[in-house]
Structure 1
Amino acid sequence: MARRVYLHVGAPKTGSTYVQHVLWKNWSALRDAGILLPGSSTAHDQAMADLREVYWRDGDARWTWDRLAAKCRKWSGDVIISNEGLGAATGEQAARAVESLQPAEVHVVVAGRDLWRTFPSTWQQSIRARSAWRFGDFLRAVEAGKFDTFWDNYTAPRMLRRWGDLVPAERRHLVTVPPSGAPHDLLWRRFAGVLGIPDGLCELDVPTSNPSLGAAEAEVLRRVNQALGDRYPLRTPYQKVVQRHLVDAVLKRRPNELKFGVGLERAEWVSDLADQQIKELRDYPCQVVGDLAELRPTGMKQTLIPDDLADAQVLDAAIQTIVGMLGHADALGRRADRHPEEVLSRLGARAAGGVRRRLRHAIRRDPA
């Protein structure tokens, strides 16, 4: 059985992509140091979907939560499970997860970010998950108390209570996301300190974040989602087609020239909400890594709202997106037209490499 299990459960849009990139890139070094990331990043994602019993779970998924937990039980050192979707689990689902990992010492890790940056990031994430609502409608729904899911699934206080109440106070960890302009590795150093990863063990030369879309690009995607109707439903069909060929291949690669945000007319509202969050978290017994003051927005300034884009701006972005997709389609076609012998040669080299790896593994297990 594992000695300690660190459950990094969210929240989304708090630098989790960067942290996970570092963890998985350094999988071997961590394992040699006695710290296991069981399975793969895909395994963690599939296990999360299984635990939460979400409707969009891939029916062909190989990893379940029980299978991931079984991997943990076979390890004698420390274990890290990281997926920001776990934070949206219900109280019952979270209890099941923690219980399945005991008697290991289970720690819960949640990250928190200021709301001024969280609101636009959350809306954009919903658009990249096939939503089609306007940014203004999203904000008004939160303001009117009609989108309680935002507080449950995208912010630290409720998430921390659902998961943190299941473990002793000394095993609850809140990591605050540093403000803009902070050293790029500060968030990693905070996480590493919680997870017990020694300084210098991991190479940090990885992408720092999941690239954001500009206002025009996000609006193009929103309108595409609206026009899709029932085609390419969540989650796998949408990821294989829209996410892969439109978002990842084209929209993410366009210059983010038109940044967007909440707007100064809501600055006081956002500041009041931040103060409420800080008070709630200050009253909750947990280990804070960073500073709760970082959850208070700074540098608020007037920004563009995607709803206010002129049709000409959206049209221009759509045309440039089509041009980008033509280049992407051309690259895919060239790849498919490679000479058959070249493809077979590569497949043969991979097969030979697989045989060599299996032989080395067999020799290590049974050197005699």
Structure 2
Amino acid sequence: MAKRVFLHIGAPKTGSTFVQNVLFQNRSALKRAGILLPGSASAHDQAMTDLREVTWRDPAATWTWDRLAAKAAGWHGDVVISNEALGGATPAQAARAVSSLAPAEVHIVVATRDLWRTFPSMWQQSIRSRNIWTFEAFLSAVEQGRFETFWEMHTGNRMLRRWGDLVPAAHRHLITVPPAGAPHGTLWQRFARVLGIPDGVCEIGEPTANTSLGAAETEVLRRVNQALGDRYPHRTPYQKVVQRHLVNAVLRKSGNTVPLRVGPDRAEWVLDLAEQQIKELAEYPCDIVGDLSELRPAGVREAPGPAPAELGDSQVLAAAIEAIIGMLGHAESLGDRVDHSYEQRFQRLTERATGKVKRTLRLRG
């Protein structure tokens, strides 16, 4: 049976893509060190959708939470399960997850980031998940208490109360995301310390973060989502088509010339929220890796770029035209790959046919 199981449950937009890439790219080395990552990153995602019983679970998914838990139970050392959407589980779902891993020693790992950077990142991620609301509508919903999902999934204090209360205080870990400009290895070093990964086991390479879109590119995607109507209505079809061919292949490579920021009119609100969050976390018994002061936003009174809704039609049109040009290049590269693949298959078939003819002639001779 597993000795310890580390459940990294979130939050989204806290460097989870980078951390998961390091983990899964080094899974063989980790296994030799006695640390198992059961299944694949996709398996962890599928298990999350099963545990949370979400309506957008892929009908073709084969991994369930119980299957992942069984893999963990079959290991003799430590186990890491990582998916940033686990933090959105209900109290009952979280309790089920923790109890399913008994009698292993379960540790809850939560990463949290300052709200000033989280708000635009979260809104953009929602647009990349097929939402159509404006940035202002998103912020107003959060501010007026009409979007509790944000607090449940993106704040360490809420996630720790749901998940952390299920395990002893010594098994609760809060990791703060370093401020902008910190060495890229800092976040990984904090995770490695919590997970008990010895120095030198993993190669972290260059950061592979989930690249942000610019304000104009995000607005283009939001309008595309509106125009799609009922096409690609669910998570998996949308990811396979829109996320793959428009977002990843084109929009993410645009250069992000106009970054997203919260306006200075909400500076005091965000600062007050940050102080409240720091106070709650300081009073909650857990292992803090990093510094709670990193949750205090910096540069909140700096003049931001225009909000997406304030962009001129010419800016959005220019971004849309660039996206079309990018998709033409993407389509051309896909065509070249198909042609090359066809040529390779034709060559293999020709070689096989030639070989058969030669063998037949030799037998007849």
User: Normalising TM by the smaller chain, what interval?
Assistant: over 0.9
Q: Normalising by the residue count of structure 2, what TM-score does the alignment of the two structures yield?
A: 0.93
Q: Distance in 1 between matches of 2:164 and 2:227?
A: 41
Let me know the Cα RMSD of the aligned residues. Answer: 1.2
Q: Distance in 2 between matches of 1:216 and 1:181?
A: 25
Whether the 8 Å contact between 1:21 and 1:207 is mirrored in structure 2 is no
Matches within 5 A, 1:213-292: 213-292=213-292
* 1:207 counterpart SS class: coil
Per-residue displacement from partner, 1:186-207 (whole Å, max 9, x unpaired)? Answer: 0000000000001121101143
Q: 1:84 Cα shift?
A: 0.1
Q: Distance in 1 between matches of 2:57 and 2:10?
A: 19
Moved more, 332-341 or 161-170: 332-341
Report the counterpart of residue 303 of structure 1 in structure 2: 304
* 2:297 counterpart SS class: coil
Structure 1: 5+ residue stretches without partners: 348-368
Q: Normalising by the residue count of structure 1, what TM-score does the alignment of the two structures yield?
A: 0.92
Q: 1:154 Cα shift?
A: 1.5
Whether the 8 Å contact between 1:129 and 1:234 is mirrored in structure 2 is no
Q: Distance in 1 between matches of 2:169 and 2:334?
A: 52
Structure with greater Cα Rg: 2
Q: 1:166 Cα shift?
A: 0.5
Q: Distance in 1 between matches of 2:276 and 2:208?
A: 30
Q: 1:106 Cα shift?
A: 0.2
Moved more, 202-211 or 306-315: 202-211
* 1:288 counterpart SS class: strand
> Alpha carbons of 1:24 and 1:346: their partners in 2 closer, same or farther (altered >3 Å)?
farther
Report the counterpart of residue 323 of structure 1 in structure 2: 325
Matches within 5 A, 1:1-368: 1-300=1-300, 301-304=302-305, 305-338=307-340, 340=342, 342-343=344-345
Per-residue displacement from partner, 1:177-222 (whole Å, max 9, x unpaired)? Answer: 0111111110000000000001121101143411000000000000
Q: Distance in 2 between matches of 1:345 and 1:103?
A: 56
Whether the 8 Å contact between 1:21 and 1:206 is mirrored in structure 2 is no
Q: 1:344 Cα shift?
A: 6.4
Q: Percent identity?
A: 69
Report the counterpart of residue 354 of structure 1 in structure 2: none
Q: Distance in 2 between matches of 1:250 and 1:207?
A: 20
Q: Distance in 1 between matches of 2:347 and 2:145?
A: 60
Report the counterpart of residue 351 of structure 1 in structure 2: none
Q: Distance in 2 between matches of 1:72 and 1:137?
A: 42
* 2:79 counterpart SS class: strand
Moved more, 61-70 or 301-310: 301-310
Q: Letter of the aligned partner of 1:322 in structure 2?
A: I
Moved more, 189-198 or 200-209: 200-209
Per-residue displacement from partner, 1:42-78 (whole Å, max 9, x unpaired)? Answer: 0000000000010000111011101100100110000
Whether the 8 Å contact between 2:4 and 2:79 is mirrored in structure 1 is yes
> Alpha carbons of 1:34 and 1:246: their partners in 2 closer, same or farther (altered >3 Å)?
same
Q: 1:125 Cα shift?
A: 0.6
Whether the 8 Å contact between 1:157 and 1:277 is mirrored in structure 2 is yes
